Structure 1
Amino acid sequence: MHASSDQSGVARRRFLKGVLATAAGSVLVPATARPAQAAGTLPAVGQTVNLSVSVVGAVMTTGLQPGEHTLNFIGSRGAKVMEGGPDFVRLQTLNFQITAEHPNFGEIIMRLPDIDVSPPSTLRVSSGELTETWIENLQISFAKAGDTEGPFSFATEKPLQATATMPDWPPHEGTNPDGSPAGVLYSADQMPTFTADDWRVDFTAFPVHLGHQAP
Protein backbone atom coordinates (compact mmCIF):
# COMPACT_ATOMS: atom_id res chain seq x y z
CA MET A 1 0.00 0.00 0.00
CA HIS A 2 2.84 2.42 0.92
CA ALA A 3 4.77 1.55 -2.29
CA SER A 4 1.69 2.20 -4.41
CA SER A 5 1.30 5.64 -2.79
CA ASP A 6 4.94 6.48 -3.61
CA GLN A 7 4.49 5.42 -7.22
CA SER A 8 1.37 7.54 -7.62
CA GLY A 9 3.25 10.52 -6.11
CA VAL A 10 6.04 10.12 -8.63
CA ALA A 11 3.50 9.92 -11.46
CA ARG A 12 1.79 13.12 -10.25
CA ARG A 13 5.13 14.96 -10.08
CA ARG A 14 5.99 13.88 -13.64
CA PHE A 15 2.56 14.97 -14.80
CA LEU A 16 2.91 18.39 -13.14
CA LYS A 17 6.36 18.87 -14.69
CA GLY A 18 4.87 18.15 -18.10
CA VAL A 19 2.02 20.61 -17.51
CA LEU A 20 4.41 23.35 -16.36
CA ALA A 21 6.69 22.79 -19.35
CA THR A 22 3.73 23.04 -21.70
CA ALA A 23 2.49 26.18 -19.96
CA ALA A 24 5.94 27.78 -20.17
CA GLY A 25 6.04 26.97 -23.85
CA SER A 26 2.65 28.58 -24.40
CA VAL A 27 3.85 31.78 -22.69
CA LEU A 28 6.96 32.00 -24.84
CA VAL A 29 5.16 31.23 -28.10
CA PRO A 30 1.46 32.19 -27.83
CA ALA A 31 -0.85 30.32 -30.14
CA THR A 32 -2.04 33.61 -31.67
CA ALA A 33 1.44 34.98 -32.40
CA ARG A 34 2.68 35.20 -36.01
CA PRO A 35 6.02 33.46 -36.58
CA ALA A 36 8.77 36.10 -36.69
CA GLN A 37 11.60 36.18 -39.19
CA ALA A 38 14.75 35.07 -37.42
CA ALA A 39 17.36 37.78 -36.96
CA GLY A 40 20.09 37.75 -39.56
CA THR A 41 18.08 35.85 -42.19
CA LEU A 42 17.14 37.08 -45.64
CA PRO A 43 13.46 37.93 -46.32
CA ALA A 44 11.35 35.68 -48.51
CA VAL A 45 11.54 36.32 -52.26
CA GLY A 46 8.37 37.75 -53.76
CA GLN A 47 7.07 39.79 -50.84
CA THR A 48 6.52 43.55 -51.05
CA VAL A 49 7.10 45.90 -48.15
CA ASN A 50 6.12 49.50 -47.47
CA LEU A 51 8.78 51.54 -45.70
CA SER A 52 8.45 54.94 -44.07
CA VAL A 53 11.17 57.39 -45.10
CA SER A 54 12.30 60.43 -43.15
CA VAL A 55 15.21 62.75 -43.87
CA VAL A 56 15.48 65.21 -40.99
CA GLY A 57 18.17 67.86 -41.33
CA ALA A 58 18.98 67.52 -45.04
CA VAL A 59 21.19 70.41 -46.20
CA MET A 60 20.71 71.66 -49.78
CA THR A 61 22.25 74.28 -52.02
CA THR A 62 20.75 75.41 -55.32
CA GLY A 63 21.13 78.16 -57.87
CA LEU A 64 17.43 78.96 -57.40
CA GLN A 65 18.21 80.69 -54.10
CA PRO A 66 21.68 81.40 -52.64
CA GLY A 67 22.85 79.89 -49.37
CA GLU A 68 22.29 76.60 -47.58
CA HIS A 69 18.76 75.43 -46.91
CA THR A 70 17.79 72.89 -44.24
CA LEU A 71 14.92 70.57 -45.14
CA ASN A 72 12.91 67.86 -43.41
CA PHE A 73 11.48 65.28 -45.79
CA ILE A 74 8.90 62.62 -45.02
CA GLY A 75 7.36 59.97 -47.27
CA SER A 76 7.54 56.30 -48.22
CA ARG A 77 9.31 53.67 -50.28
CA GLY A 78 7.77 50.48 -51.61
CA ALA A 79 10.17 47.60 -52.29
CA LYS A 80 9.85 44.07 -53.65
CA VAL A 81 12.19 41.24 -52.65
CA MET A 82 13.69 39.57 -55.74
CA GLU A 83 15.91 36.55 -56.36
CA GLY A 84 19.60 37.10 -55.69
CA GLY A 85 22.20 34.52 -54.70
CA PRO A 86 23.20 32.23 -51.81
CA ASP A 87 23.91 35.12 -49.44
CA PHE A 88 21.86 38.01 -50.84
CA VAL A 89 18.56 39.11 -52.35
CA ARG A 90 17.76 42.08 -54.55
CA LEU A 91 15.33 44.83 -53.57
CA GLN A 92 13.46 46.52 -56.40
CA THR A 93 12.02 49.93 -55.53
CA LEU A 94 8.42 50.00 -56.73
CA ASN A 95 7.60 53.54 -55.61
CA PHE A 96 9.35 56.32 -53.74
CA GLN A 97 8.26 59.83 -52.81
CA ILE A 98 9.25 62.23 -50.03
CA THR A 99 8.11 65.82 -49.54
CA ALA A 100 9.31 68.85 -47.62
CA GLU A 101 8.05 72.43 -47.13
CA HIS A 102 10.23 75.53 -47.32
CA PRO A 103 9.22 79.23 -47.25
CA ASN A 104 11.31 80.05 -50.35
CA PHE A 105 10.46 76.93 -52.38
CA GLY A 106 6.97 75.89 -51.24
CA GLU A 107 6.45 72.14 -51.55
CA ILE A 108 9.55 70.20 -52.56
CA ILE A 109 8.97 66.70 -53.95
CA MET A 110 11.64 64.05 -54.47
CA ARG A 111 10.44 60.94 -56.31
CA LEU A 112 11.32 58.30 -58.87
CA PRO A 113 11.77 59.59 -62.44
CA ASP A 114 9.13 58.72 -65.03
CA ILE A 115 11.58 56.20 -66.53
CA ASP A 116 13.56 54.61 -63.72
CA VAL A 117 16.81 52.90 -64.69
CA SER A 118 18.06 52.37 -61.13
CA PRO A 119 19.62 48.96 -60.50
CA PRO A 120 17.99 46.88 -57.74
CA SER A 121 19.47 47.32 -54.29
CA THR A 122 21.23 44.38 -52.67
CA LEU A 123 20.53 42.98 -49.21
CA ARG A 124 23.39 40.74 -48.10
CA VAL A 125 23.74 38.56 -45.01
CA SER A 126 27.09 38.20 -43.24
CA SER A 127 27.98 37.22 -39.67
CA GLY A 128 24.34 37.27 -38.58
CA GLU A 129 23.67 40.79 -39.87
CA LEU A 130 22.03 42.21 -42.98
CA THR A 131 23.51 45.04 -45.05
CA GLU A 132 21.55 46.88 -47.71
CA THR A 133 23.32 48.78 -50.47
CA TRP A 134 20.69 51.13 -51.87
CA ILE A 135 21.13 53.00 -55.18
CA GLU A 136 18.31 55.23 -56.43
CA ASN A 137 17.92 57.66 -59.31
CA LEU A 138 15.53 60.43 -58.32
CA GLN A 139 14.11 63.70 -59.52
CA ILE A 140 13.31 66.78 -57.48
CA SER A 141 10.81 69.58 -58.07
CA PHE A 142 10.12 72.92 -56.37
CA ALA A 143 6.71 74.61 -56.35
CA LYS A 144 8.35 78.03 -56.55
CA ALA A 145 11.61 79.95 -56.19
CA GLY A 146 11.04 83.04 -54.08
CA ASP A 147 8.30 85.07 -55.79
CA THR A 148 8.56 83.12 -59.06
CA GLU A 149 6.01 80.37 -59.45
CA GLY A 150 7.17 76.98 -60.72
CA PRO A 151 7.28 74.12 -60.78
CA PHE A 152 11.02 73.78 -61.29
CA SER A 153 12.15 70.20 -61.95
CA PHE A 154 15.64 68.70 -61.86
CA ALA A 155 16.84 65.27 -62.99
CA THR A 156 19.45 63.09 -61.31
CA GLU A 157 23.06 63.82 -62.08
CA LYS A 158 24.36 61.42 -59.44
CA PRO A 159 22.03 58.89 -57.78
CA LEU A 160 21.62 58.47 -54.07
CA GLN A 161 23.87 55.69 -52.77
CA ALA A 162 23.34 54.66 -49.15
CA THR A 163 24.09 51.66 -46.94
CA ALA A 164 22.82 50.39 -43.61
CA THR A 165 23.49 47.34 -41.45
CA MET A 166 20.67 45.91 -39.36
CA PRO A 167 19.71 42.70 -37.51
CA ASP A 168 16.71 42.02 -39.75
CA TRP A 169 14.83 43.44 -42.72
CA PRO A 170 12.56 45.30 -43.07
CA PRO A 171 14.01 47.61 -40.41
CA HIS A 172 11.74 48.44 -37.49
CA GLU A 173 10.00 51.79 -37.50
CA GLY A 174 10.61 54.26 -34.68
CA THR A 175 9.70 57.88 -33.91
CA ASN A 176 11.75 61.06 -33.92
CA PRO A 177 11.38 63.59 -31.04
CA ASP A 178 9.17 65.73 -33.31
CA GLY A 179 6.85 62.80 -33.92
CA SER A 180 8.02 62.00 -37.45
CA PRO A 181 8.81 58.37 -38.23
CA ALA A 182 12.35 57.11 -37.95
CA GLY A 183 14.00 53.75 -38.48
CA VAL A 184 17.44 52.52 -39.37
CA LEU A 185 19.86 55.29 -40.38
CA TYR A 186 21.30 54.80 -43.86
CA SER A 187 24.72 56.31 -44.43
CA ALA A 188 24.78 58.30 -47.67
CA ASP A 189 27.95 57.14 -49.42
CA GLN A 190 27.01 59.46 -52.29
CA MET A 191 24.67 62.41 -51.90
CA PRO A 192 22.04 62.90 -54.62
CA THR A 193 22.75 65.75 -57.05
CA PHE A 194 20.39 67.16 -59.67
CA THR A 195 20.68 69.34 -62.79
CA ALA A 196 18.45 71.19 -65.25
CA ASP A 197 20.17 73.14 -68.01
CA ASP A 198 22.76 75.28 -66.18
CA TRP A 199 21.06 74.99 -62.77
CA ARG A 200 22.08 72.59 -60.00
CA VAL A 201 20.73 71.16 -56.77
CA ASP A 202 23.28 69.63 -54.37
CA PHE A 203 22.93 68.03 -50.96
CA THR A 204 25.75 68.17 -48.42
CA ALA A 205 23.81 66.25 -45.76
CA PHE A 206 21.13 63.62 -46.34
CA PRO A 207 20.48 61.54 -43.17
CA VAL A 208 17.81 59.13 -44.39
CA HIS A 209 15.95 56.78 -42.03
CA LEU A 210 13.83 53.85 -43.23
CA GLY A 211 11.38 51.86 -41.14
CA HIS A 212 8.68 49.26 -41.76
CA GLN A 213 5.10 50.48 -42.03
CA ALA A 214 2.86 47.86 -40.44
CA PRO A 215 -0.16 46.92 -42.60
Structure 2
Amino acid sequence: MDGVLKKLGEARKTGTVGDVLDLCLEQQLFDGLGKVRERHRKAVSPSGADPQAVSDDKAEARAVARSKEYQQLRQVPYAELLALNEHLGGGTPFATQHGVKGLEFNRVLAVVSKGHSRFQIPEMLANFSRRDELMDKELEAFIRARNLFYVACSRAREHLAIVFTTKLEPAALDTLREWVGESRITSLRFDGDTVVGGE
Protein backbone atom coordinates (compact mmCIF):
# COMPACT_ATOMS: atom_id res chain seq x y z
CA MET A 1 0.00 0.00 0.00
CA ASP A 2 2.80 2.44 0.88
CA GLY A 3 4.33 1.93 -2.58
CA VAL A 4 1.15 2.93 -4.41
CA LEU A 5 0.55 5.96 -2.21
CA LYS A 6 4.18 7.06 -2.57
CA LYS A 7 3.96 6.78 -6.37
CA LEU A 8 0.64 8.62 -6.32
CA GLY A 9 2.08 11.42 -4.17
CA GLU A 10 5.06 11.78 -6.48
CA ALA A 11 2.86 11.74 -9.62
CA ARG A 12 0.68 14.49 -8.11
CA LYS A 13 3.78 16.68 -7.68
CA THR A 14 5.65 16.04 -10.91
CA GLY A 15 3.44 13.96 -13.21
CA THR A 16 0.57 14.58 -15.56
CA VAL A 17 -3.15 13.98 -15.15
CA GLY A 18 -2.62 10.80 -17.18
CA ASP A 19 0.10 9.58 -14.80
CA VAL A 20 -2.18 10.02 -11.78
CA LEU A 21 -5.16 8.52 -13.58
CA ASP A 22 -3.17 5.46 -14.67
CA LEU A 23 -1.98 4.84 -11.10
CA CYS A 24 -5.54 5.09 -9.81
CA LEU A 25 -6.86 2.72 -12.47
CA GLU A 26 -4.04 0.17 -11.93
CA GLN A 27 -4.20 0.00 -8.12
CA GLN A 28 -6.16 -2.74 -6.34
CA LEU A 29 -6.56 -1.07 -2.92
CA PHE A 30 -9.84 0.75 -3.37
CA ASP A 31 -12.75 0.56 -5.75
CA GLY A 32 -15.46 2.99 -6.76
CA LEU A 33 -13.83 3.91 -10.06
CA GLY A 34 -16.34 2.12 -12.29
CA LYS A 35 -17.48 5.25 -14.11
CA VAL A 36 -13.88 6.48 -14.49
CA ARG A 37 -12.82 3.10 -15.89
CA GLU A 38 -15.74 3.15 -18.35
CA ARG A 39 -14.96 6.68 -19.56
CA HIS A 40 -11.29 5.76 -19.86
CA ARG A 41 -12.19 2.68 -21.94
CA LYS A 42 -14.47 4.71 -24.24
CA ALA A 43 -11.89 7.47 -24.66
CA VAL A 44 -9.05 5.08 -25.43
CA SER A 45 -11.12 3.11 -27.93
CA PRO A 46 -13.93 5.33 -29.27
CA SER A 47 -16.16 2.84 -31.10
CA GLY A 48 -13.07 1.25 -32.62
CA ALA A 49 -12.60 4.33 -34.78
CA ASP A 50 -9.29 5.54 -36.08
CA PRO A 51 -8.86 9.02 -34.51
CA GLN A 52 -7.34 10.23 -37.80
CA ALA A 53 -10.23 9.02 -39.94
CA VAL A 54 -12.86 11.47 -41.14
CA SER A 55 -16.41 10.20 -40.67
CA ASP A 56 -19.80 11.53 -41.67
CA ASP A 57 -21.37 9.76 -38.72
CA LYS A 58 -21.98 12.40 -36.00
CA ALA A 59 -21.83 9.93 -33.12
CA GLU A 60 -18.51 8.54 -34.28
CA ALA A 61 -17.14 12.05 -34.86
CA ARG A 62 -18.15 13.04 -31.29
CA ALA A 63 -16.48 9.90 -29.93
CA VAL A 64 -13.28 10.73 -31.79
CA ALA A 65 -13.41 14.35 -30.52
CA ARG A 66 -13.89 13.13 -26.92
CA SER A 67 -10.95 10.78 -27.34
CA LYS A 68 -8.73 13.61 -28.57
CA GLU A 69 -9.87 15.86 -25.71
CA TYR A 70 -9.15 13.06 -23.23
CA GLN A 71 -5.64 12.59 -24.60
CA GLN A 72 -5.01 16.33 -24.29
CA LEU A 73 -6.28 16.29 -20.69
CA ARG A 74 -3.91 13.42 -19.88
CA GLN A 75 -0.96 15.63 -20.92
CA VAL A 76 -1.80 18.45 -18.48
CA PRO A 77 0.61 18.63 -15.53
CA TYR A 78 -1.28 17.44 -12.44
CA ALA A 79 0.12 20.44 -10.53
CA GLU A 80 -2.09 22.65 -12.74
CA LEU A 81 -5.15 20.67 -11.64
CA LEU A 82 -4.13 21.15 -8.00
CA ALA A 83 -3.69 24.89 -8.62
CA LEU A 84 -7.15 25.08 -10.22
CA ASN A 85 -8.64 23.28 -7.23
CA GLU A 86 -6.95 25.74 -4.88
CA HIS A 87 -8.21 28.67 -6.96
CA LEU A 88 -11.80 27.40 -7.04
CA GLY A 89 -11.65 26.58 -3.34
CA GLY A 90 -11.08 30.19 -2.33
CA GLY A 91 -7.35 30.55 -2.94
CA THR A 92 -7.86 33.82 -4.80
CA PRO A 93 -9.32 37.21 -3.93
CA PHE A 94 -11.33 37.11 -7.18
CA ALA A 95 -14.67 35.39 -7.77
CA THR A 96 -17.67 35.58 -10.04
CA GLN A 97 -20.92 37.05 -8.79
CA HIS A 98 -22.36 33.52 -8.81
CA GLY A 99 -19.45 32.27 -6.73
CA VAL A 100 -19.99 34.71 -3.85
CA LYS A 101 -23.68 34.13 -3.17
CA GLY A 102 -24.25 34.15 0.57
CA LEU A 103 -20.77 35.50 1.38
CA GLU A 104 -19.87 38.91 2.81
CA PHE A 105 -16.66 40.95 2.70
CA ASN A 106 -15.62 44.24 4.28
CA ARG A 107 -14.62 45.71 0.92
CA VAL A 108 -15.89 44.68 -2.50
CA LEU A 109 -14.82 45.75 -5.96
CA ALA A 110 -17.43 44.56 -8.46
CA VAL A 111 -16.37 44.63 -12.11
CA VAL A 112 -19.24 44.78 -14.58
CA SER A 113 -18.62 44.26 -18.27
CA LYS A 114 -20.66 43.44 -21.31
CA GLY A 115 -19.10 40.02 -21.68
CA HIS A 116 -21.90 37.59 -20.82
CA SER A 117 -24.93 37.44 -23.09
CA ARG A 118 -27.31 36.13 -20.37
CA PHE A 119 -26.45 38.78 -17.76
CA GLN A 120 -26.49 42.24 -19.30
CA ILE A 121 -26.26 44.52 -16.28
CA PRO A 122 -25.72 47.73 -18.33
CA GLU A 123 -28.96 47.03 -20.23
CA MET A 124 -30.78 46.23 -16.99
CA LEU A 125 -29.74 49.62 -15.58
CA ALA A 126 -30.85 51.36 -18.78
CA ASN A 127 -34.23 49.61 -18.64
CA PHE A 128 -34.80 50.09 -14.92
CA SER A 129 -37.11 53.11 -15.29
CA ARG A 130 -39.31 51.18 -17.73
CA ARG A 131 -39.18 47.83 -15.90
CA ASP A 132 -42.98 47.66 -15.60
CA GLU A 133 -43.31 47.77 -19.40
CA LEU A 134 -40.97 44.85 -20.09
CA MET A 135 -42.42 41.55 -21.28
CA ASP A 136 -41.39 38.00 -22.15
CA LYS A 137 -37.69 37.52 -22.94
CA GLU A 138 -36.83 41.16 -22.27
CA LEU A 139 -38.37 40.87 -18.79
CA GLU A 140 -36.61 37.57 -18.12
CA ALA A 141 -33.25 39.08 -19.14
CA PHE A 142 -33.93 42.12 -16.95
CA ILE A 143 -34.72 39.96 -13.90
CA ARG A 144 -31.63 37.75 -14.40
CA ALA A 145 -29.33 40.76 -14.66
CA ARG A 146 -31.02 42.60 -11.76
CA ASN A 147 -30.69 39.57 -9.48
CA LEU A 148 -27.02 39.09 -10.36
CA PHE A 149 -26.31 42.80 -9.82
CA TYR A 150 -27.98 42.55 -6.41
CA VAL A 151 -25.72 39.62 -5.51
CA ALA A 152 -22.61 41.61 -6.49
CA CYS A 153 -23.66 44.76 -4.65
CA SER A 154 -24.94 43.11 -1.47
CA ARG A 155 -21.67 41.31 -0.61
CA ALA A 156 -20.04 44.42 0.90
CA ARG A 157 -20.32 45.07 4.65
CA GLU A 158 -18.60 48.48 4.57
CA HIS A 159 -17.28 49.60 1.19
CA LEU A 160 -18.49 48.88 -2.34
CA ALA A 161 -16.95 50.11 -5.58
CA ILE A 162 -18.39 49.16 -8.95
CA VAL A 163 -16.31 49.48 -12.09
CA PHE A 164 -18.08 49.35 -15.44
CA THR A 165 -15.69 48.41 -18.22
CA THR A 166 -18.08 49.52 -20.93
CA LYS A 167 -19.66 52.88 -21.71
CA LEU A 168 -23.08 53.16 -20.11
CA GLU A 169 -26.11 54.56 -21.90
CA PRO A 170 -27.53 57.82 -20.47
CA ALA A 171 -30.54 55.90 -19.08
CA ALA A 172 -28.22 53.53 -17.19
CA LEU A 173 -26.30 56.47 -15.75
CA ASP A 174 -29.59 58.08 -14.71
CA THR A 175 -30.47 54.93 -12.76
CA LEU A 176 -27.10 54.95 -11.01
CA ARG A 177 -27.38 58.67 -10.21
CA GLU A 178 -30.79 58.05 -8.64
CA TRP A 179 -29.42 55.17 -6.55
CA VAL A 180 -26.08 56.55 -5.35
CA GLY A 181 -26.01 60.26 -6.21
CA GLU A 182 -24.04 62.19 -8.81
CA SER A 183 -21.06 62.79 -6.51
CA ARG A 184 -20.34 59.06 -6.20
CA ILE A 185 -20.01 58.46 -9.94
CA THR A 186 -16.72 59.02 -11.74
CA SER A 187 -16.36 58.65 -15.48
CA LEU A 188 -12.92 57.77 -16.86
CA ARG A 189 -11.63 57.82 -20.42
CA PHE A 190 -8.89 55.45 -21.54
CA ASP A 191 -6.39 55.34 -24.35
CA GLY A 192 -5.39 51.71 -24.36
CA ASP A 193 -4.43 50.97 -20.75
CA THR A 194 -3.89 54.61 -19.77
CA VAL A 195 -6.44 56.92 -18.16
CA VAL A 196 -6.50 60.07 -20.28
CA GLY A 197 -9.34 61.93 -18.63
CA GLY A 198 -12.14 61.86 -16.17
CA GLU A 199 -15.24 63.76 -15.28
Q: Aligning the two structures, in what range does the TM-score lie when normalised by the shorter sequence?
A: under 0.3
Greater strand share, 1 or 2?
A: 1
Q: Given the two structures, how large is their TM-score scaled by the length of structure 1?
A: 0.23
Q: Given the two structures, how large is their TM-score scaled by the length of structure 2?
A: 0.25
Greater relative contact order (Cα < 8 A, sep 6+): 1
